[in-house]
Structures are given as C-alpha cells and as structure tokens.
C-alpha cells in the first residue's frame, strides 16, 4: 500500500473535481491510500513522508510550486495535473506561471489535448518524455455523475416560484479592483495598460446587457456564478465585477463557491458567459442547451472555444435569443451545422476526449510513476524551518481565529482563507456522494475486468509515443 499525500487549497470546486475520479481509481486498483492535506501545510511532506505527492497543478499558485519543488528535492516523486489546460499555442500563454525555476519537478506533465502537448514539445524538446497526453480529468464527471435536479435546487434555495433558469459564468473582471489582479491582467495583456480600460468598458457593457435581460424577464431566474480565480484567496474584500451590482434584483441568485458548477449548468435552460470554458462543460452535459457569449467588443485575444457558441454584441440580440428559445425551444444560430462541427472539434482540441475515461488515461501514468518508486523505507526529507514555522502558525492560529476580529486587522485578514479552509471538511462528503456514480460507471464499462485482463489502457487510445520506455 503506497501512501499518497494530496494537497488542495479548497474542499470543493475545479481542482477537487479534477482529482477525485483519479483518486478513486488509484485507491481501487493501484494500492494507494490517499490522504488530503491543506496547501499551506507544506511541512506535511516532512512530517508524513509520503511515497508520492499528488497535486492539481504546479504552476497555478506559489504554494503548489513550492510543494512540488520541496518534495522533488527530497526524492519524493510528484504527480500533478494541469488545472487550466486549455492553453493558447500562439506564444501568448505563460505556461510556467509561478514556476520561477522554469523546471517541471513532477514526473509527468499531463496535457488536456494533443494540440497543447505538441506545442510544449516544440517549446521544450529536452523533456519530451515528460510531456504526455491524458485528457482533462475534470470533465469526466459529465459522463459519470448524476446532478441535482432543478426542482430540488430551487426548493433548497426557496425559489420554487421560478420555472425558467438562465445561468451565467463570470469572467475575472473583479481583478480590476485590487493591485495583484491588475498586475495579472497587465501580464496577460503584455504590459499594455490601455487594455485595462478596455476590460472595464467590457465589464460595464456586459453588466448592462445582463441588467436589461433581468428587467425584461422578471419571471426568469438568473443564476450568476463568480469566477473561482477572480481574486487570490488572501484578498477578503470582493471586487466589483459584472454581476455583484445586480444582486438586489429579486430574480437573481449570485453564487460564489457554495455551489458546484455542474449543478448550476444542470438546472439551467441557457448558459451564458463573457469568455469561459464552462460553455464546453454545458456541451458535454446537455448538447442541445444553447451557450451564448456576451461580447460587446468581440475583437480581442481569446480562446477558440467561442466558435462553438453564439456571440452577441447587443442587448437586443440577447433578448431576441431568449425569446426564441422559450418560444421555440431552440436558438437557431446555435444549432447550425457549422456550430455543431465546431463544438465536436473543440472538445477534441481542448480536453482530448469527452468520454469519461480521462482519469483512467491519467492513472496509466500514475501507475508508471509508482512502478519506479524505490523499494524499502520512504525517503527522508530535510527539515525546513520556513515550512515548519508556517505549520506552527496555522496550528496556533486556529485557536485564536475569530473572523470578525481578523477581518479588521490588515495583516490578519489575509489569513482568513487558511483558517476557513484548512480542515477540507467537504472532501469526505463529496467522496461519499460520488462513490456510487463511479461504481455504476465502472460496472457498466467493465473496468475491473478489463484492468485484470490487461486490456484497459490499450482500449483508451493512450498514445504509444507517450508511453515510457521499458
């Protein structure tokens, strides 16, 4: 039995959903015992001496990078996924992120698509054997899980009076409201400050389109979902975005982290956004549900996913589409054959496969990593005073933590996210909820039988060029 230490910065959301299907396979077939640990507690690598460290990514936050670096330097293998794997291949994407060493410490770099893998292979030819195609595990749930029914969701929220629901996935406009966010936007726009003004204009224009739709259709519930990465967790105050000025409308439900994205898509008739990969999640869950993009100015450096949705520049276009859908049950522009073909190709180019098996493709490389573990006792990491002190502060601080006090103290309010998240209480709840879905999916596809016979990985089109040399 191998001890695996999985680090997370939250107990729900994107990173959790990416990892749970993979962890289910690891524990069921790869003789792993996975323990969850909060991201702030880097010192756990020293205390718990795992055989393997598992991460959702190594470039998306400073702490994830530090964990990968610390573990690898102690000869503890690191296996990591990619949280934002739909990277652009035109040179505009910073694929190193917080990895200032510009060196991947994990055993494999797992790519969502052949498009992105091949791009990095051309950029970094010296580590081609590390760069492998697995598909995006976080999208597997749309083939495996059952989601909350609209009637149950609305009853839970006390909103049973609504029979129609439109969802909207927020963009990270809130970054404009804090220095770190503006810095990140400036980096994205290659240092051109004029694009910050453009971003603010788009935010106000999108807000206006949403506002007019809400006023036009008071009988429709608009569910607005804040982007999970709109601000660093240490930033307590919520910045202004395109949604929060609208929360006073009675037909608006503004959601932050308390609801699963897949449940919000499941209860919606139409799914909207400014620019968002959640449109693809809507295609996977309900291939007939229209996805609409609100782009007052559509001429900007953007991902190709927009080609599968209908793009609206004006409120009038949006109102007409909503009217058409509830009158005819469809939006003709979304159903065009060209759009359908685009969606099919975009799924392949973005997440590799939409069949629910990406977590098993990923598990193939986990298994190869485990096969290379040294025999005997686990490695003995060197003590780190920095990480030990972080652990002590967290352990002591939890006894003194009072939110209403910490939020008034400038240095302390940056730690609120630590004390509210470090227990990761929701993980066992999600695992218990998803287990039956996983078992049913595995039974339906005879996963256990195929694994025992040795045919499972071969059936899943794992690229022979990705397979480690024996």
Q: How would residue 188 be classed by pLDDT, with cut points 50, 70 and 90?
A: confident
**Mean per-residue pLDDT for 443-464?**
90
d(CA 170, CA 316): 21
Distance set, CA 97 to CA 188, 301, 303, 328 (Å): 11, 19, 18, 46
Residues 6+ apart with CB under 8 A from 457: 360, 361, 364
**Residue 125 binned pLDDT confidence (cut-offs 50, 70, 90):** very high
Give this prediction's pTM.
0.84
55-69, 226-240, 311-325: least confident range: 226-240
Spell out the SS3 assignment of the chain. CEEEEEEECCCCCHHHHHHHHHHHHHHHHCCEEEEEEECCCCCHHHHHCCCEEEECCCCCCHHHHHHHHHHHHCCCCEEECCCCCCCCCCCCCCCCCCCCCCCCCCCCEEECCHHHHHHHHHHCHHHHHHEEECCCHHHCHHHHCCCCCHHHHHHHHCCCCCCEEEEEECCCHHHHHCHHHHHHHHHHCCCCCHHHHHHHHHHHHHHHHHHHHHHHCCCEEEEEECCCCCCCCCCCCCCCCCCHHHCCCCCEEEECCCCCHHHHHHHCCEEEECCCCHHHHHHHHCCCCCEEEECCCCCCCCCHHHHHCEEECCHHHHHHHHHHHHHHCCCCCCCCHHHHHHHHHHHHHHHCCCCCCHHHHHHHHHHHHHHCCCCCCCCCCCCCHHHHHHHHHHHHHCCCCCHHHHCCCHHHHCCHHHHHHCCCCHHHHHHHHHHHHHHHHHHHCCHHHHHHHCCHHHHCCCCHHHCCCC
- Cα distances from 245 to residues 67, 177, 222, 254, in angstroms, run 38, 14, 14, 10
Which of 462 and 182 is assigned the larger pLDDT? 182
Rounded percentage of the chain residues whose pLDDT exceeds 90: 79
Instruction: Using alpha carbons, select from 292, 260, 294, 268 the residue that is nearest to residue 279.
Output: 292
- Any residues with CB less than 8 A from the CB of 242 and at least 6 apart, and which? 170, 171, 173, 203, 204, 206, 207, 210, 274
pLDDT band at 469 (very low <50, low <70, confident <90, very high): very low
Residue 93, burial from CB neighbour count under 10 angstroms (0-12, 13-18, 19+)? middle
Q: Is the pLDDT of residue 464 over 70?
A: no
- pLDDT tens profile 24-47: 999 999 999 999 999 999 999 999
Q: Does the structure show a pLDDT above 80 at 308? A: yes
Region 202-209: mean pLDDT is: 97
Average of per-residue pLDDT across 233-253: 88
Q: How confident is the model at residue 465 (pLDDT cuts 50, 70, 90)?
A: low
Residue found under tokens 């009217």: 323
pLDDT tens digits for range 345-393: 999 999 999 999 999 999 999 999 999 987 655 456 689 999 999 999 9
* Pair 367, 30: CB distance under 8 Å: yes
Q: What's the pLDDT score for residue 94?
A: 86
- Can you say whether residue 261 is alpha, beta or left, with left for phi > 0 and alpha for psi between -120 and 50 degrees? alpha
pLDDT recorded at residue 446: 97
The arithmetic mean of pLDDT across residues 127-154, rounded, is: 95
Please give the mean pLDDT across all residues of the chain: 92
Per the model's pLDDT, the better-predicted residue between 203 and 184 turns out to be 203
Split at pLDDT 50, 70, 90, the class of 466 is low
Which residues contact residue 191 at a Cβ distance below 8 angstroms, ignoring those fewer than 6 apart? none
Question: What pLDDT band is residue 470 in, cutting at 50, 70 and 90?
Answer: very low
Q: In the chain, what percentage of residues exceed pLDDT 70?
A: 96
At residue 238 the predicted structure's pLDDT band, cuts being 50, 70 and 90, is: confident
Structure tokens belonging to residue 79? 């296996």
Distances (CA, A) of 470 to 370, 371, 460: 14, 11, 20
Work out the average pLDDT over 55-79.
95
């Amino acid at each position: 039995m191998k001890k695996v230490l999985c680090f997370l910065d939250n107990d729900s959301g994107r990173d959790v959903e990416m990892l749970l299907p993979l962890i289910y396979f690891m524990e069921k077939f790869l003789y792993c015992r996975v323990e969850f640990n909060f991201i702030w507690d880097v010192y756990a690598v020293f205390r718990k001496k795992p055989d393997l460290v598992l991460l959702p990514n190594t470039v998306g936050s400073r702490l994830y990078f530090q964990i990968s670096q610390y573990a690898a330097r102690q000869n503890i293998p690191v296996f990591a996924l990619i949280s934002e794997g739909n990277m652009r291949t035109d040179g505009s994407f910073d694929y190193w992120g917080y990895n200032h060493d510009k060196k991947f410490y994990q055993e494999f770099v797992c790519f969502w698509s052949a498009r992105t893998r091949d791009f990095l292979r051309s950029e970094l030819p010296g580590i081609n054997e590390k760069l492998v195609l697995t598909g995006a595990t976080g999208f597997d749930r749309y083939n495996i899980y059952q989601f909350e029914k609209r009637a149950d969701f609305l009853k839970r929220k006390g909103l049973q009076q609504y029979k129609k629901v439109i969802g909207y996935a927020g963009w990270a406009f809130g970054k404009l409201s804090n220095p770190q966010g503006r810095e990140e936007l400036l980096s994205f726009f290659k240092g051109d400050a004029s694009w910050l003004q453009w971003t603010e204009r788009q935010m106000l224009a999108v807000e206006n389109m949403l506002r007019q739709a809400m006023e036009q259709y008071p009988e429709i519930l608009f569910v607005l979902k804040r982007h999970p990465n709109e601000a660093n967790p240490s930033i307590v105050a919520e910045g202004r975005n395109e949604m929060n000025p609208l929360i006073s409308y009675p037909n608006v439900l503004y959601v932050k982290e308390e609801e699963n994205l897949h449940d919000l898509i499941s209860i919606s008739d139409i799914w909207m956004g400014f620019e968002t990969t959640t449109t693809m999640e809507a295609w996977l869950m309900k291939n007939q549900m229209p996805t609409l993009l609100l782009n007052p100015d559509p001429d900007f450096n953007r991902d190709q996913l927009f080609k599968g949705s209908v793009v609206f520049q004006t409120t009038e276009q949006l109102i007409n589409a909503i009217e058409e859908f509830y009158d005819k049950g469809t939006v003709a522009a979304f159903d065009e054959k060209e759009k359908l073909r685009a969606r099919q190709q975009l799924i392949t180019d973005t997440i590799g496969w939409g069949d629910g098996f990406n977590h098993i493709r990923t598990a193939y490389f986990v298994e190869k990593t485990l096969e290379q573990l040294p025999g005997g006792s686990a490695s003995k990491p060197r003590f780190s005073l920095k990480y030990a002190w972080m652990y002590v502060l967290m352990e002591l601080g939890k006894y003194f933590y009072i939110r209403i006090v910490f939020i008034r103290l400038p240095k302390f309010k940056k730690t609120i996210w630590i004390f509210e998240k470090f227990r990761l209480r929701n993980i066992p709840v999600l695992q218990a909820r998803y287990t039956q879905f996983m078992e049913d999916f595995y039974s339906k596809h005879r996963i256990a039988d195929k694994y025992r016979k040795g045919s499972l990985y071969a059936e899943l089109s794992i690229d022979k060029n990705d397979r480690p040399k024996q």
